[in-house]
Amino acid sequence: MMVVSHVVLGASAWVAAGSLGLMPKSGAEGAVIAALGALLPDLDHPSSWLGRRLWVIAKPLSLLVGHRGITHSLLAMAAGVALLTALRPAPGLARLIEPLALGYLSHIAADALTPAGVPLLWPWRQRFGLGLCATGGAVEMLVVAACAAATFWLKMN
């Protein structure tokens, strides 16, 4: 999926989860952090939006693990949450872990909609995907628009 799609889906996931009572409600801050979390898995790709900005990390990571490898797995998300929690951030920063993690998960779920799928259970090599939409295609735009519309509806009701 494209960067804008990941940003919209990450923010939408946080707002929807709050509206459904699955996560604490927060203002724009949580949605922004979830959108940022939705960009993190592509740090393994130096040409990605985040990879171009953090190329010092992205280039070696890409050489080490390749694109859509460990960073697109539940293991990476869980390890990231464990690391952030172990660092014992101040309460103000600790509340950002949940939207960051949900945004990360939204990226993995979105990429699982593409034909390439994701190695959800890495290091097991099996890729999981629905093959529903090509990256940047019309179906991707429809999926993102539908998710954003559903989130808006949830927020308003």
pLDDT for position 26:
72
Predicted local distance difference test score (pLDDT) of residue 18:
92
| 10 compared with 92, residue with greater pLDDT | 10
Going from N- to C-terminal start, the domains of the chain cover 3-156
pLDDT tens digit string along 125-137?
Answer: 999 999 999 999 9
Distance CA 157, CA 146 (A): 16
* Residue scoring higher pLDDT (21 or 52): 52
Cα separation, 46 vs 15, in Å, equals 29
Average per-residue pLDDT in the chain?
94
Radius of gyration of the chain, Cα coordinates, nearest whole angstrom: 15
What's the pLDDT tens digit per position in 101-126? 999 999 999 999 999 999 999 999 99
pTM exceeds 0.85: yes
The model's confidence at residue 145, banded by pLDDT at 50, 70 and 90, is very high
- On the question of pLDDT at 27 being above 80, the answer is no
